[in-house]
Amino acid sequence: NTHKTPYPIPETTPTNISHIVFGIGGATKTWQSKKHYIESWWSPNVTRGFLFLDEAPIRYLPWPPTSPPVRVSSAHKGVPYTVRMARVVEETFKEEKGGGVRWYVMADDDTVFLPENLVEVLKKYDHNGYYYVGMNSESIISNSLFSFGMGFGGAGFALSYPLVELLVKNLDGCLKKYHGYHGSDHILQSCMADLGVSLTQERGLLAAHPQAPMVSLHHLDAVEPLFPTMDRLQSLNHLMKAAKTDQSRLFQQSICYDHPKDWTFSLSWGYSLHIYEKILPPSVLQVPLQTFGEWRKGAKPAFMVNTRGLSKDPCEIPHTFYFDSVVDSRGRGNPEEVIMSYVRKLPRRLPPCLASGNQSAHDVEKILVISPVTRLETEGRRRECCEIVQVDKADVRTIKLRPCTKDEIME
C-alpha cells in the first residue's frame, strides 16, 4: 500500500524545509560531473529527498553523506529516458516514508536551488490544494516546441501532496498515453492537464533577476563561469557564499545615483555591480544587458524578456565589479548590517563617456555595499533604494541599501 497520510500538523504552522521532499533524476554515467551542483545546496539531515539513477553507482561507493540518498530507478531497462524521469515523481512518493510532506519538488541533477527562497515561495500556497508550481523557459523556441504552460524540469517544479497522490494513481495510464513526448516535464504537464490542473508560474524558478526571490539555476555547465578568473565549480561555490549570507537578496537589483559625477550604480546583489558614466533611469536598467546567447542560435525573437544590446558606446557600457567577499557580517560592529565588497576583475577597455562633461569611473577599483540583515520581502514591495554614503579613497566607493521612503523616487 503506497498511500500515505501526512501526520497532523496544525494549519497555523508555516511551511518549512522539512515539509518539502526533493525527487532528483540523474544518470550514473554523468554523476561525477554533476554532483557538485547538488552538493552546493543540499544539506544532510535538513533537506529531504532522493537521487534516482539509471544504474547502481558502484564506482562511487561508499556513497558520500554530502549527496542525497541514492536509489536506482525501478523502471530503467528498455524504458525511454523520458518515461524513467517521469516515474521519479512516483518513486519519490513511494520512497519517502517520513510523513509530514506538503510538497514534492522535482528537478534534474544539475539544478541548483536556493532552499530558503523555495520555502518562501511555497509557503504562499495552500498545500492542501492541487498546485503545480513552476516556470516556463526564457527561450521562446523552447516554449514553442514544448509548451508555454509547462514547468521546465531543469528549473525544478513543485507539486502539492494531494496532486502527487492523485497523479501517482493515474500515472500508468498517463505514461501509456504520452510516452512518445520528447521530455519528461512535458509528459507530466500533460498528465496534470488531464487531472484539470494547470501551471502556477513563479518567476524566480530558472529566471534572471526579476523582482522575485531567486529560486533555482540550471545548465551552468552550458554557459561561461559566472565569475571571471574562476572555473565553473569555483564560480558556483563563490556565488553560494553570497547566498549563505542572504538568499533573499541574491541577484536582486538596486539602483542609485551620484549626480555630481553623473554616475549610475546598478547592483545585482551577491553577483555584480555596474557603474555607468551616465544617468540612466530604472526603466532602462531593469532590462538586462544581453551578455548571454540564444539557446538555439538564430532564433528570433530569442527570449521571453526584453534585452539591451551591447554597444561600444562608453556611455552605454558599464564598468563591471564582481562580488569578492563578505567584509563584515556585522557591519563594522552594527549587528543590523552586513558589508560586502565588489571589485573590478577586468578592465573596461573603453574611453570615458564625454556626454555633459561626465567624470570617468576608471580609477574605481572596489565598491563596498552595506545592506540590512533582515530578509528582503519582494511580494507587493518596492525595490530597495540605495545611496552613496562616503568616498573612502579615490579607488573605493561605499553604498548603502535601505527601504525607500514613502514618496521617494529612484532618480
DSSP 337-388: EEEEEEEE-S---SPPP-GGGPPP-TT--EEEEEEESSPPP-TT-PPPEEEE
Predicted local distance difference test score (pLDDT) of residue 117: 96
- Cα 272 to Cα 288: distance, rounded to the nearest angstrom: 13
pLDDT of residue 308: 86
Question: How far is residue 249's CA from residue 336's CA, in Å, rounded to a whole number?
Answer: 15
Q: How far is CA 52 from the centre of its chain?
A: 22
State pLDDT tens for residues 262-285: 999 999 999 999 999 999 999 999
Q: Which tens digit of pLDDT belongs to each residue from 103-153?
A: 999 999 999 999 999 999 999 999 999 999 998 878 777 766 777 777 887
Sign of CA dihedral 236, 237, 239, 243: positive
Identify the CA nearest to 50 among candidates 82, 111, 93, 19: 93
CB within 8 Å of 5: residues ≥ 6 apart: none
The pLDDT score that the predictor gives to residue 64 is 95
Helix axis angle, 81-95 relative to 184-194, nearest 10°?
60
Residue 9 has pLDDT above 70, yes or no: no
Q: Are 213 and 120 in contact (CB under 8 A)?
A: yes
Ranked by mean pLDDT, the top range of 71-75, 205-209, 289-293 is 71-75
Outline where DSSP puts E strands in 165-301.
Answer: 200-201, 216-217, 253-258, 263-268, 272-276
Q: What is the pLDDT of residue 253?
A: 93
**CA dihedral sign of residues 161, 75, 48, 28:** negative
- The SS3 call for residue 164 is helix
Read off the pLDDT of residues 71-94 as tens digits, 9 standing for 90 and up: 999 866 667 888 888 899 999 999
Which stretches of 118-171 are assigned E, i.e. beta strand? 132-134, 157-160
Angstrom distance (rounded) from CA 266 to CA 44? 36
Note whether 174 and 194 are within 8 A (CB). yes
How many contiguous H segments (helices) and E segments (strands) does the chain have? 9, 17
**Rounded to two decimals, what is the model's pTM?**
0.90
**Among 182-196, 221-235, 294-308, 391-405, where is mean pLDDT lowest?**
294-308
Half-sphere exposure at residue 276, Cβ-oriented, CA atoms within 13 angstroms: 20
**Left, alpha or beta for 409 (phi > 0: left; psi -120 to 50: alpha)?**
beta
Query: What mean pLDDT, rounded, does the chain reach?
Result: 88
**Which triple of cell numbers denotes residue 337?**
548590517
Task: Name the pLDDT band for 200 (thresholds 50, 70, 90).
Answer: very high
The DSSP symbol for 300 reads S
Q: Is the pLDDT of residue 35 over 90?
A: yes
Q: Tell me how far apart the alpha carbons of residues 218 and 155 are, in angstroms, rounded to a whole number.
A: 6
Q: How many residues does the chain have?
A: 411
Q: Give the DSSP H/E element, type plus range, for residue 186.
A: helix 184-194
Whether residue 36 has pLDDT greater than 60: yes
